[in-house]
A and B are shown apart, each in its own frame.
Chain A
């Protein structure tokens, strides 16, 4: 059974702090790892990572994948209250049908206080 484990489950920080979210996985037929941000409704896409060691950046957010150690981190620098959300890590795995499916971690709830 595919496993995706996120840590910590929740954290509270103050504006301006930096947060690091972890995602480790044990899956068969790995294809890619994705990060999503979920506020009140459905998740919005942040990053997709397929190669080790290549950092992806978008503004104050960045992410990197280590396929040898089977984990990824998501960094948020200079946090703002608008960063408060649940951050979901998902791993895409190949299926026999040549499709793939996502397995989600439980998410990390980030609360940024003013």
Chain B
């Protein structure tokens, strides 16, 4: 149980384009989803927290107009990087917590999406 998937796993795009990343909880209802980014050899930095059906809460320094988060259902959250630039190149990871799990506190991570902006 507690499987989280992400799609795509790897994307290369041109500067100025927008990229959408999907995060799905496959076998549980994710009441809360989290989006992180990780630069090489650094730890995970929380970008935003989203609860199903409500607006995401962004961490300080994260531009909400650049990183659009939608959590429309209990199994799907999307992160759209708008007008991506090379400095947005990173590893983006989602995690989810929710109902029907042995521990509602634990976050379960997706496999991550490697974004490279040329």
Interface residues of A (CB under 8 A from B): 31-32, 34, 36, 41-45, 48, 88, 90, 92, 97, 99-107
Contact = CB atoms under 8 A, between A and B. Distances in A.
Nearest to B46: A101
Given A31-B105, A41-B111, A99-B49, 18 more contacts: A34-B106, A41-B112, A42-B93, A42-B95, A42-B109, A42-B112, A43-B44, A45-B2, A45-B107, A48-B103, A48-B105, A92-B105, A99-B32, A102-B107, A104-B43, A105-B43, A106-B43, A107-B43
Query: What secondary structure prevails in chain A residues at the interface with B?
Result: strand
Interface in B48-96: 49, 51, 57, 93, 95
Most buried by B among A31, A42, A43: A42
B118 to A, nearest CB: 23
Contact of B42 (A31, A34, A99, A106): A106
Nearest to B59: A101
B112 A102 contact: no
